Structure 1
Amino acid sequence: MDADERALRAEIIANCRWMNDSGLNAGTSGNISARWGDRMLITPSATPYAAMAPEMLASMPLEGDYGAWEGPLKPSTEWRFHLDILRARPEARAVVHTHAPYCSALAITRREIPAVHYMIAAFGGATVRCAEYAPFGTAALSANALAALEGRCACLLANHGMIAFGPSLEKAMWLAVELETLARQYHNALLIGGAVVLSDAQIEETLAAFKGYGLQDPPEPAA
């Protein structure tokens, strides 16, 4: 691998370690992928982040032999939705999946996140949907995630966790943190009597303002 690819692999590992250190994830449950040319780089299965080195990441073709991989360790069990998102959403450069505590708590109740804060517009609309349940690592889970991500750049996974993607690894991580922040705010609002939800018009106003700041371009529809 060349120096640029090694640097991206190292960045993926650094972000994995950070998301565990920050409490956004725990153990080996989350995973991160990034687009590298016509391939996807993804964290390997069941490997502690502290012990991970750049050459241990799996490399998978975005087109061609679906599910093929190269590397010393097999890819994360969630490689399907990472690969399918990168294939279906050309604007996606990196995908972050975590079992973030508040996102997971809402996903366990199978709630979407409504427009309880204007920052929900950063995800492309007035809600962050909760994908229907399917077992981890399955084609069904990937299909459910793609449906929930239509017109959005993040979703919850029923009884599981969350997904966020962005035009760079840095932006995908930012969105993952913002999503967990929204989930915590919504959770806390439910504890004290419920939330006042912003109107669609108010979210459209925020989306327009975000374009001026360069914070969020509306996600393109899923292919």
Structure 2
Amino acid sequence: MKNLRSEIIKYSKMLNSKKLSALRSGNISSRYKDGFLITPSGKKYSALKNNDIVFVSLNGYFDKKKGIPSSEWKFHQDIYRSKKEAKAIVHAHSTCATAVSTHKRGIPPFHYMVAMAGGHDIKCAKYATFGTRELSKNILKALKGRKACLISNHGQIAFEENLSKAFELAEEVENISLQYITSLKLGKPKILSIKEMKKVLSKAKNYKRG
């Protein structure tokens, strides 16, 4: 558990250093035994220690004496409960992904790398107050058949089989969001066909990440 806590802290600090999230915004978790380890509520990532990382069971139990988990622990819980392949989750308030999300729009297949999120497009979950079960339901809907999505007026979320891959996917979503915003400045971008995206998705299954 100690090594996993250290890894969570490492990638939490990278949220800041890679400019995916400022100060204490966003959160990171990793599946552990019958639950998950997650960043705490209200602490700057730069000051995190191993014992600050909180364990939450899949039933939603945590020992308050050992710390309070991120206020958004519920959507981590729901993703782990509904997606067995999810081993690590990165949630970020990254600038470009958040900007696109404020228009309540997802990202269409303007570029083949959209497929890295698992589908022919990247969905945008409907808005709901942070930390609520309603938000979890919206996120799960947007993640159907996908490993990442935007969250309306909020940011983005990505999951993978380990923290390295989850973090890299979050970086990819942010980069794709920047490219999409840039393409829109030139006009309406050409969109790849569903047929082409199916080919890309088939090839992406063998794409090595992390």
* TM-score tier after normalising by the smaller chain length: over 0.9
Q: Which sections of structure 2, spanning at least 5 residues, go unmatched? A: none
- On the 8 A contact 2:92/2:157 being kept in 1, the answer is yes
Aligned partner of 2:131 in structure 1 is 137
1:39-75 CA distance string (max 9 Å, x none): 200000010111111111110111xxx3211363200
Quick check: 1:75 aligned with 2:69? Answer: yes
Aligned partner of 1:219 in structure 2 is none
Q: Distance in 1 between matches of 2:115 and 2:97?
A: 17
TM-score, length-scaled by structure 1: 0.91
Q: Distance in 1 between matches of 2:22 and 2:207?
A: 33
Q: How does 1:39-188 map to 2 (within 5 A)?
A: 39-62=35-58, 66-70=59-63, 72-188=66-182
The number of aligned residues is: 209
Q: Which letter does structure 2 place at the counterpart of 1:27?
A: L
- On the 8 A contact 2:106/2:121 being kept in 1, the answer is yes
1:201-222 CA distance string (max 9 Å, x none): 111111111223345xxxxxxx
- On the 8 A contact 2:120/2:201 being kept in 1, the answer is no
Quick check: 1:207 aligned with 2:201? Answer: yes
Q: Distance in 2 between matches of 1:59 and 1:25?
A: 22
The alignment partner of 1:133 has SS state of coil
Q: Distance in 1 between matches of 2:121 and 2:87?
A: 22
- On the 8 A contact 2:41/2:69 being kept in 1, the answer is yes
Match of 2:12 among 12, 16, 41: 16
Q: Distance in 1 between matches of 2:23 and 2:189?
A: 32
Q: Distance in 1 between matches of 2:60 and 2:205?
A: 36
The alignment partner of 1:140 has SS state of helix
- On the 8 A contact 2:78/2:136 being kept in 1, the answer is yes
Aligned partner of 1:190 in structure 2 is 184
Q: Distance in 2 between matches of 1:142 and 1:209?
A: 30
Q: Which sections of structure 1, spanning at least 5 residues, go unmatched? A: 216-223
Q: What is the Cα deviation at residue 142 of structure 1? A: 0.4
How much is the aligned-residue C-alpha RMSD, in angstroms?
1.3
Moved over 3 A (4+): 212-215
Percent of paired sites with the same residue: 43
Q: Which letter does structure 1 place at the counterpart of 2:144?
A: E
TM-score, length-scaled by structure 2: 0.96
